[in-house]
A = this chain, B = another copy of it.
Amino acid sequence: MSDTILLDHGEGGAATARLVRDVFVRHLGSPPQLEDASVVDGGARVALTTDSFVVKPLQFPGGNIGKLAIAGTVNDLAMVGSQPRYLTAGFVLEEGLPIELLDRIVASMAACASEAGVRIVAGDTKVVGRGEADQLFINTSGLGIMPVGRYLSSASCQPGDAILVSGPIGDHGSAVLVAREGFGIQGDLQSDCQPLTDLVEALLVAAPGVRCMRDPTRGGLATTLTELAAASGVGMRLTETAIPIRRPVRAACELLGLDPLYVACEGRLIAVVPSDQADVALHALRGHRRGAQAARIGQVVVERGVVLHTVTGGNRPLVALEGAQLPRIC
């Protein structure tokens, strides 16, 4: 087989079949059957989601586009309370992509899918010419089973609810940006990219009253909270000193002029929890290796707007991210 991707690999013939066999099936296993679609066990209520990944560079400290594509979609399914089961994977490959690199990325997908307890049941590969894409884009879509009686909604936050975050914020975005641009920044920046399936189940078992969860990806913590507050018709008050941010992330953001509140995470969740379940929820998060640094960062209030009580004693309104703070971080 050629060492790089050729246009032939996208044509649906013998070259495509070899690529599928030697890279995709080798890592991900055989699809349930050789059909246009895969038939799988469903459920009375299922969750569906989709995400395209265009992160640059393809590899960064803590992960690569393959791991990210699995974790990102698994987490979207988990955030609505579903149990992620099946993913599909669609690849757009640029002619000339080293097959060794693709192989490594698909191996990461397999490892992350296994860790998250999901199966990749359908795939698709397209190849475009040199200069018509930037190496590799991946779309993952997914299905999760909704347990009977579980209803979470972004519109259900109520005044008095506690706002929790499962760990330090801003790691993913800052790690990718520095991996891409360099800026001469040293330091222990590492993406938090990870699947949150098991953390979510631990949380929901301990605190079944959880109103809603979101993973603060593009736009970061601040944008996600403004969306939740708007959807519920409430406000939020946050305490800056309570928001966990790792020292290297804070330092990199200061150097780069970024606000870590708007920098993407890929392995954290925000949970809004009735106040009487806040302690048990926080305990459940902290008792799990993926949530050891969870924190209670604020509460829901009647007055609209998301406001940060700052370190210096001021009040800073947070609004949705307007422009391109960090292109291509997922």
* Min C-beta distance of A165 to chain B, whole Å: 16
* Residue in B13, B43, B76, B146 whose beta carbon sits within 8 Å of that of A321 in the complex: B13
Least Cβ–Cβ distance between A233 and chain B, in angstroms: 13
* B154:A11 contact, CB within 8 angstroms: no
A128 to B39, CA, bound (A): 34
A35 in complex: contacting residue of B39, B50, B154, CB < 8 Å: B154
Cross-chain contact A48 with B88 (CB below 8 angstroms) = yes
- A79-B36, A82-B39, A134-B128 given; A52·B14 CB < 8 A: no
Contacts of A52 in B (CB 8 A): 90-92, 124-126, 139
A207 → B minimal CB distance (Å): 19
A225 to chain B, nearest CB (A): 13
A289 to B12, CA, bound (A): 29
- Chain A 100-142 interface mask (CB, 8 Å, partner B; 1/0): 0000000000000000000001111111110111100101011
Asked whether B46 lies within 8 Å of A14 as measured between CB atoms, the reply is no
Number of interface residues of A (CB under 8 A): 90
Copies in the complex: 2
Report Cα–Cα, A142/B79, bound state, in Å.
Answer: 20
CB proximity of A226 to chain B, nearest CB, Å: 9
A50 and B122: CB pair below 8 A? yes
Min Cβ gap A29→B in Å is 15
Within 8 A of B (CB), among A179-218: 212, 214-215, 217-218
Question: Looking at the complex, which one of B16, B44, B121, B320 makes contact with A42 (CB distance below 8 Å)?
Answer: B44
Name the contact of A13 in the complex, choosing from B10, B49, B219 (C-beta under 8 A).
B219
The answer to whether A77 has its CB under 8 Å from any CB of chain B is yes
- B45 lies within 8 A of A124 (CB): no
**Alpha-carbon distance between A77 and B12 when the two chains are bound, in angstroms:** 18
Evaluate whether A86 and B215 lie within 8 angstroms (CB atoms) in the complex, with A34-B231, A128-B134 already known: no
Of B12, B45, B141, B319, which one neighbours A41 at CB under 8 angstroms? B45
In the complex, the chain B residue whose C-beta lies closest to that of A37 is B49
A235 at the interface (CB under 8 A from B): no
22 A-B residue contacts at CB 8 Å?
A8-B322, A8-B324, A11-B219, A11-B323, A15-B324, A16-B218, A33-B153, A33-B154, A33-B155, A35-B152, A36-B77, A36-B79, A38-B47, A39-B82, A40-B45, A42-B42, A42-B43, A42-B45, A42-B145, A50-B141, A129-B327, A132-B133
Q: Interface residues, chain A, CB within 8 Å of chain B?
A: 6-8, 10-17, 33-54, 75-77, 79-80, 82, 86, 88-92, 121-129, 131-134, 137, 139, 141-146, 152-155, 212, 214-215, 217-219, 223, 227, 231, 319-328, 330
Closest 9 CB pairs of A and B: A12-B218, A13-B321, A50-B88, A141-B141, A37-B49, A139-B139, A42-B46, A36-B76, A52-B90
